[in-house]
Chain A
Amino acid sequence: MSLGRYVGRRLAVTVPVLFGVTALTFSFVHLLPGDAVDAIVGFRAVSPATEAATRAEYHLDQPVWDQYLLWLRDAITLEFGESPVTGRDVSATIGRRLPATLALGGAAWLLALAIGIPAGIVAAVRAGEPADEVGRLAALAGIATPNFWLGLILLFVFSVRLGWFRVLPPDAPLVSLATAKFLVLPTITLGTASAALVMRLLRSSMRRELDATYVTAARAKGLPERTVILKHVLRNAVLPVVTVAGLQLAFLVDGAVVVEGIFSWPGMGRLLVQSVLQRDYPVIQAIVLVIGIAIVLANLLVDIVYAILDPRIRY
Chain B
Amino acid sequence: MALLEVEDLVVQYYTDDGVVRAVDGLSYEIRAGETVGLVGESGAGKSAASRAVLRLLDGTGEIVGGEIRFRGRDIRELSADDLQAIRGNEIAMVFQDAGAALNPVYTVGEQIAETIRVHEDASDGEARNRTIALLDRVGIPNPAARYADYPHEFSGGMQQRAVIAMALSCDPAVLICDEPTTGLDVTVQAGILELLAELAAKSETAIQLVTHDLGVVAELCDRVLVQYAGEIVERAPVDELYYDPKHPYTVGLLAATPRLDDDRERLPTIPRPAPDLVDPPTGCRFHPRCPYAEDCCASRRPSLVDPVSGRPVDGDPETHVAACLEYTGDLEAGLDYEVQIRDDADSNCRERKQQGEPR
A interface residue numbers (CB < 8 A to B): 211-214, 216-225, 227, 232, 235-236, 309-312
Contacts and interface: CB of A to CB of B under 8 A. Distances in A.
A222 B119 contact: yes
A3 to B, nearest CB: 12
22 contacts: A211-B58, A212-B100, A213-B95, A213-B101, A216-B58, A219-B54, A220-B88, A221-B114, A221-B115, A221-B118, A222-B115, A222-B118, A222-B119, A223-B118, A227-B114, A235-B105, A235-B106, A236-B103, A236-B105, A309-B105, A311-B104, A311-B105
B93 A220 contact: yes
B190 interface: no
A221 B85 CA distance: 9
A172 to B, nearest CB: 44
B54 A220 contact: yes
A221 B95 contact: no
A219 B152 CA distance: 21
Interface in B63-99: 80, 84-89, 92-93, 95, 97
B87 A220 contact: yes
Q: How extensive is the interface on chain B, given as a class? A: 20 to 34
Nearest to B58: A216
B contact patch SS: mixed
Contacts of B80: 225
Nearest to A312: B152
B103 A216 contact: no
Contacts of B51: 216
Interface of B: 51, 54, 56, 58-59, 80, 84-89, 92-93, 95, 97, 100-106, 114-115, 118-119, 150, 152, 163, 166
A227 B150 contact: no
A221 B88 contact: yes
Contacts of A309: 105
Contacts of B102: 214, 217
A232 B100 CA distance: 13
A101 to B, nearest CB: 34
B106 to A, nearest CB: 8
B84 A222 contact: yes
A214 B114 contact: no
